[in-house]
């Protein structure tokens, strides 16, 4: 039978004790006994993967012989462990306990530091994510605002002509740099092909031209398709193209030169500025044409009214002359009173023609088009202000406007301006002040207009909205018939 693992006395030396692990022998000095009555205590067995305090695995009984051997081995191992604990005094055990506690404390400290570091990184990541989100939102809002007309100029100039001239100058510089050795692209000068420097220079030159052509093609496409609100994305795209060319040309040190890249970026900026300035000038031209068209209508209306009144004046004077010839004093007096009225109207028309500030302030609404609580406040110099109201309710809106108030004033421009200032924070469109719509109730508009005019006037609080209400009734009736 094989020798079971365990401690054995050395027959040759009583101070030595040997350990058999089942494969080889090792010898150790015999521990001194604690007292005279104690038997010698054996040193602990060498550590093994399966050994350790209170961690002995239960033997598996595959057969009687094998079970007995494993039992002897387990007994020997437990005896060795007891021997190890027996030789350790109280001070050693206390030191071991303190060591283990310190180890546990160190592990806990490391865990706490790791958790704190993870929390700090989490906070930093969330903060960085919030910052990126804000940047994304800001970029999106900037694009939207630029698309609808809020554009920040990169190179403010007076007009589109100045932008066009500056843009032409930049394009001339671009053409000059693209020419041979113009500095548009950088590349190595010591490249060789098959040991030939000349062939290397030719290869670098051809590759540089190809890279520069690809870069210019992308830049030209961005210029041709430029929209002012796309400026930032266009610049980023051109930056990526320059970076890509630099990566592809690393072996030959081929890259678009910084001055040339900056020149093309400025070309993009000037193109966007030029397009925006042209759009602004067109908008101003449209407004000016509309203003002149309205002025012509006013002048034509005044002239027609003046001619009509002049004819009436002439008829009255002829009639008065005839009555005087007949001696009809009563008839003359009656016609002279009517003539005085006509003359007064002529003077009023002449006054309107001379005074550009005189006109009617109107307050109108269109609940079918814009909903309730939205009023348009403006002024017109027309002699018949309802003509202007009817024009506003043309085919561009589904329903006609309802009139809440028409107030004539010799300084209608001032009253209109003060009404707009009073309700400035209630504008429907806060970007384009030419849009004269306000989220104001009829009562508020009546109070403001009464305060500015200094007198009470006729004011309709509830709009008729005839077409709109009839449409609602027709829709309701139609749905009833369908049901």
Per-residue pLDDT tens digits for 287-307: 888 888 888 888 888 888 889
Tokens of 271: 């193109």
> Which among 304, 233, 297 is positioned nearest to 265, based on CA atoms?
233
**Percentage above 90 pLDDT, the chain:** 22
Q: Report the C-alpha gap between 66 and 144 in whole angstroms.
A: 85
User: Phi/psi of residue 98, each to 5°?
Assistant: -65, -40
225-239, 298-312, 376-390, 447-461: which range is least confident on average?
447-461
Q: What is the pLDDT of residue 36?
A: 43
Q: What pLDDT is attached to residue 32?
A: 52
Query: Is it the case that residue 423 has pLDDT exceeding 90?
Result: yes
**E-only strand ranges, 69-157:** none
According to the model, what pLDDT value does residue 241 have? 94
Q: Are 360 and 382 in contact (CB under 8 A)?
A: yes
Phi, psi angle pair for 142, to nearest 5°: -65, -45
Alpha-carbon distance of 28 to 84, in angstroms, equals 13
Higher pLDDT, 146 or 217: 217
Confidence at residue 403, expressed as pLDDT on a 0 to 100 scale: 92
Q: Please, which pLDDT band fits residue 90 given cuts at 50, 70 and 90?
A: low
Q: Is 227 helix (H, G, I), strand (E, B) or coil?
A: coil
Q: Name which of 257, 218, 223 is nearest 240 in CA terms.
A: 218
pLDDT digits (tens, 9 = 90+) for 2-35: 677 777 777 677 777 777 777 777 777 765 554 4
Average pLDDT over residues 249-258: 92
Q: 45-64 pLDDT, tens per residue?
A: 444 434 443 333 444 444 55
Instruction: Return all residues near 170 (Cβ < 8 A) that are at least 6 apart.
Output: 263, 266, 267, 270
Average pLDDT, integer, range 169-188: 88
Q: Which residue has the higher pLDDT, 79 or 436?
A: 436
Domain ranges of the chain: 6-87, 160-282, 299-354, 359-482
Comparing 145-149, 400-404, 478-482, the range with the smallest average pLDDT is 145-149
What confidence category does residue 328 fall into, taking pLDDT thresholds of 50, 70 and 90? confident
Euclidean distance between CA atoms 424 and 456, whole angstroms: 24
The β-bridge relationship of strands 255-256 and 185-186 is: antiparallel
- The reported pLDDT for the residue numbered 299 is 85
Given pLDDT bands bounded at 50, 70 and 90, which one contains residue 194?
A: confident
User: What is the pTM assigned to this prediction?
Assistant: 0.49
Task: Report the greatest alpha carbon distance in the chain.
Answer: 178
pLDDT digits (tens, 9 = 90+) for 139-168: 555 555 555 445 677 777 777 888 889 889
How far is the C-alpha of 259 from the C-alpha of 222, rounded, in Å? 19
């Amino acid at each position: 039978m094989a020798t079971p693992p365990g401690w054995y006395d050395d027959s040759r030396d009583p101070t030595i004790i040997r350990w058999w692990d089942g494969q080889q022998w090792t010898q150790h000095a015999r521990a001194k006994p604690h007292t005279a009555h104690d038997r010698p205590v054996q040193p602990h067995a060498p550590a093994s993967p399966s050994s350790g305090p209170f961690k002995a695995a239960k033997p598996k009984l595959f057969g009687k012989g094998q079970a007995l051997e494993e039992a002897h081995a387990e007994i020997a191992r437990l005896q060795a462990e007891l021997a190890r604990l027996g030789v350790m005094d109280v001070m050693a055990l206390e030191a071991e306990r303190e060591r283990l506690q310190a180890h546990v404390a160190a592990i806990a400290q490391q865990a706490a530091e790791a958790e704190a570091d993870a929390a700090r990184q989490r906070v930093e990541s969330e903060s960085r994510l919030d910052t990126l989100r804000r940047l994304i939102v800001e970029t999106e809002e900037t694009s939207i605002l630029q698309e609808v007309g809020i554009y920040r100029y990169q190179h403010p100039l007076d007009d589109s002509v100045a932008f066009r001239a500056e843009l032409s100058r930049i394009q001339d510089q671009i053409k000059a740099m693209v020419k041979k050795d113009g500095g548009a692209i950088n590349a190595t000068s010591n490249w060789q092909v098959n040991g030939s420097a000349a062939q290397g220079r030719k290869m670098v030159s051809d590759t540089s031209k190809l890279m520069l052509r690809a870069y210019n093609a992308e830049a030209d496409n961005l210029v041709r398709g430029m929209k002012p609100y796309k400026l930032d994305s266009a610049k980023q795209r051109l930056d990526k193209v320059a970076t890509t060319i630099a990566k592809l040309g690393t072996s030959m040190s081929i890259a678009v030169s910084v001055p040339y890249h900056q020149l093309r970026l400025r070309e993009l900026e000037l193109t966007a500025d030029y397009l925006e300035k042209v759009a602004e000038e067109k908008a101003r031209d449209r407004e000016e044409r509309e203003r002149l068209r309205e002025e012509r209508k006013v002048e034509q209306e005044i002239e027609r009214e003046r001619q009509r009144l002049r004819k009436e004046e002439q008829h009255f004077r002829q009639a008065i002359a005839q009555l005087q010839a007949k001696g009809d004093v009563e008839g003359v007096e009656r016609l002279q009173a009517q003539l005085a009225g006509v003359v007064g109207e002529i003077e009023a028309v002449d006054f309107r023609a001379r005074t550009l500030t005189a006109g009617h302030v109107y307050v109108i609404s269109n609940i079918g088009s814009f909903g309730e609580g939205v009023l348009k406040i403006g002024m017109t110099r027309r002699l018949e202000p309802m003509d202007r109201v009817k024009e506003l309710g043309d085919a561009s809106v589904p329903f006609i406007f309802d009139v809440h108030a028409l107030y004539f004033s010799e300084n209608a421009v001032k009253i209109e301006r003060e009404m707009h200032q009073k309700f400035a924070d209630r504008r429907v469109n806060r970007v384009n002040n030419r849009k004269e719509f306000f989220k104001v109730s009829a009562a508020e508009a009546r109070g403001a207009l009464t305060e500015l005019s200094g007198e009470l006037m006729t004011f309709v609080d509830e709009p008729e909205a005839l077409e709109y209400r009839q449409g609602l009734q027709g829709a309701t009736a139609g749905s009833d018939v369908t049901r």
